[in-house]
Amino acid sequence: MRIDMHESTIEQGAVRVPLATVSAILGSSLGGSWGTARAFETSPDGSLQRVEHSGSRSPILPQPQASALASQIVAAPAFIEAAKQSAVERVRSWRTSREAGGFEYAGNRFDSDQLSAMRIMGAAQMAMAQPTYSIVWTTQDNVSVALDRAGMLALFAALGAHASTVHDAATAAKASIRAATSLAQVEAALATLS
């Protein structure tokens, strides 16, 4: 666990939430330890350490109390709700990145950013209108691929299948996140995205 005073966030595993969601729990547990600390982090031995702006560290809670505090924080309803909101935003970002990151077709990787998708759609429309259509298309790694009418329409279909697969994965992850009642369930939903 990392409590970052400068960024006003708490990070636990794959989740990052605003510090305000659990400040009452922390305030009562850490008392006067806040001071001018840059952050608080769980150390490899499980204790909670105060991290100064200089980078120096000093232990403030031994492992048993640090584990109890971490458990109390991640079980807090406000933390879980904030974690869910943060996770849904990560899924949206993942979806956007994946949709635009390219797709495989016929042993080649093709671009799928917005402009490339529009070009593929336009070329597919031309292919539908011209029975003898052919084009040389450049792949993501600059290989020239000759496509006839059927090939262009299949490339368009592969683009659609790529977008659909990414959308379905994001939709399923968001549904699992929204249904989650624990941090472990939120992290498990995020882990489904590859």
- The Cβ of residue 102 has, within 10 Å, a number of other Cβ atoms equal to 18
Query: At CB < 8 A and 24+ separation, what contacts does 86-91 make?
Result: 86/15, 86/16, 86/17, 87/14, 87/15, 87/177, 87/186, 87/189, 87/190, 88/174, 88/177, 88/178, 90/14, 90/190, 91/170, 91/173, 91/174, 91/177, 91/190, 91/193
Asked if 36 and 117 sit in the same domain, the reply is: no
Residues 99 and 187 in one domain: yes
pLDDT digits (tens, 9 = 90+) for 4-55: 766 777 787 777 777 766 666 666 565 555 566 677 788 888 888 878 878 7
187 and 103, same structural domain?
yes
**The pLDDT of residue 22:** 66
Encoded tokens for 8:
């006003």
35 lies in a domain?
A: yes
Of 75, 104, 133, the last residue of a domain is: 75
Same domain, 149 and 109: yes
110 and 64 within one domain: no
Range in 22-26, 73-77, 109-113, 156-160 the model is least confident about: 22-26
**What's CA 101's distance to the chain center, in Å?**
14
- Does the residue 81 lie in any domain? no
Q: Last residue of some domain: 75, 105, 131?
A: 75
What is the value of pTM for the model shown?
Answer: 0.78
Task: Determine, yes or no, domain membership for 80.
Answer: no
Total count of domains within the chain: 2
Shared domain for 63 and 14, answered yes or no, is yes
Whether 129 is covered by a domain: the verdict is yes
Give the SS3 label for residue 193.
coil
Query: Tens digit of pLDDT for each residue in 49-71?
Result: 878 878 787 777 788 887 887 78
Domain extent for 185: 93-191
Query: Residue range 102-112: average pLDDT?
Result: 97
